[in-house]
Structure 1
Amino acid sequence: MTTYHIIFFILVGTIIFAIDQKREYFPVPIILLLVGVALSYVPFFEQVLLTEKMIMHGFLPALLFISAYQLPLKDLKKYYGTFIALSTIGMLLTAFLLAVLIYTTVGISLSIGFVGALLIASILTPTDPVSTVNILKTSTKRDELADVVEGESLLNDGTSIVLFTVVAGIFSNQKSFHIGSFISEFLWVSIGGVLVGLIFGYILSKVIFWLNHREYQVMVSIVLAYGSFLVAEHIGVSGVLATVTSGLILSYEIDITSQKRRPDYLNGFWENINPIVLSILFIVMGLEATDLLKISDFWAMFVIFILSLLAREAILLIMFKLLPNLHNHFKTKDVHLMTWCGIKGTMSIALLLMFKDQYSGHEDSIISLTIGAIMLSMVIQSLTIYPLSKRN
Structure 2
Amino acid sequence: MLNIAAICLTLTALLAYLNHRFVRLPMTIGVMVIALMLSLAIVALDALGLDRGLRQYEEAFIRSIDFSDVLMRGMLSLLLFASALHVDLSALKSYRWQVGGLALAGTLASTIVVGFGMWLALPLVGITMPLVYCLLFGSLISPTDPIAVMGILKTAGAPRNLELVIAGESLFNDGVGVVLFALLLGVAVNGAWPTTGEAAGLLLQEAGGGIAFGLVLGWVTYRLLKSIDQYQVEVLLTLAAVMGGYTLANHLHVSGPLAMVVCGLMVGNAGRALAMSDETRKYVDMFWELLDEILNAVLFVLIGLEVVLIDFSMPLVAGGAVAIAITLLARWLTVGLPVKALGSRYFRLPPGSPGVLTWGGLRGGISVALALSLPEVAASPSTRANVLALTYCVVVFSVLVQGLTIGRFVRRTMAREK
Q: TM-score, normalised by structure 1?
A: 0.91
Q: Is the contact between residue 98 and residue 347 of structure 2 (CA under 8 Å) also seen in structure 1?
A: no
In 1, Cα distance between equivalents of 2:263 and 2:102: 21
Unaligned 5+ runs, structure 1: none
Is residue 104 of structure 2 the alignment partner of residue 88 of structure 1? Answer: yes
Unaligned 5+ runs, structure 2: 43-53, 414-418
Q: Secondary structure at the match of 1:355?
A: coil
Residues 101-120 of structure 1 mapped to structure 2, 5 A cutoff: 101-108=117-124, 109-120=126-137
Cα distance, 1:327 vs structure 2: 4.6
Cα distance change, pair 57–184 in 1 and its aligned pair in 2 (3 A): same
Residues 152-167 of structure 1 mapped to structure 2, 5 A cutoff: 152-167=169-184
**Computing the radius of gyration over CA atoms, which structure comes out larger, 1 or 2?**
2
Partner of 1:224: 241
Cα distance, 1:317 vs structure 2: 3.7
Q: 1:58 aligns with which of 61, 66, 74?
A: 74
Is residue 396 of structure 2 the alignment partner of residue 375 of structure 1? Answer: yes
Identify which range, 4-13 or 78-87, moves more after superposition: 4-13
Is residue 140 of structure 2 the alignment partner of residue 140 of structure 1? Answer: no
Partner of 1:284: 302
Cα distance, 1:13 vs structure 2: 5.0
Is residue 17 of structure 2 the alignment partner of residue 15 of structure 1? Answer: yes
Shift >6 Å, 4+ stretches: 258-262
Cα distance, 1:140 vs structure 2: 2.3
In 1, Cα distance between equivalents of 2:388 and 2:95: 35
Partner of 1:294: 312
Cα distance, 1:263 vs structure 2: 0.9
Partner of 2:362: 343
Is residue 69 of structure 2 the alignment partner of residue 67 of structure 1? Answer: no
Alignment length (residue pairs): 389
Cα distance, 1:295 vs structure 2: 4.1
Residues 40-55 of structure 1 mapped to structure 2, 5 A cutoff: 40=39, 41=42, 42=54, 45-46=58-59, 47-48=61-62, 49-55=65-71
Cα distance change, pair 159–53 in 1 and its aligned pair in 2 (3 A): same
Amino acid of the structure 1 residue aligned with 2:334? I
In 2, Cα distance between equivalents of 1:114 and 1:164: 14
Is residue 98 of structure 2 the alignment partner of residue 99 of structure 1? Answer: no
Amino acid of the structure 2 residue aligned with 1:31? G
In 2, Cα distance between equivalents of 1:365 and 1:30: 25
Cα distance change, pair 270–370 in 1 and its aligned pair in 2 (3 A): same
Q: Is the contact between residue 51 and residue 353 of structure 1 (CA under 8 Å) also seen in structure 2?
A: yes
Q: Is the contact between residue 107 and residue 117 of structure 1 (CA under 8 Å) also seen in structure 2?
A: no
Cα distance change, pair 184–35 in 1 and its aligned pair in 2 (3 A): same
Partner of 2:31: 32
In 1, Cα distance between equivalents of 2:347 and 2:28: 33
Cα distance, 1:173 vs structure 2: 3.6
Cα distance, 1:183 vs structure 2: 0.9
Aligned-pair identity in percent equals 26
Q: Secondary structure at the match of 1:359?
A: coil
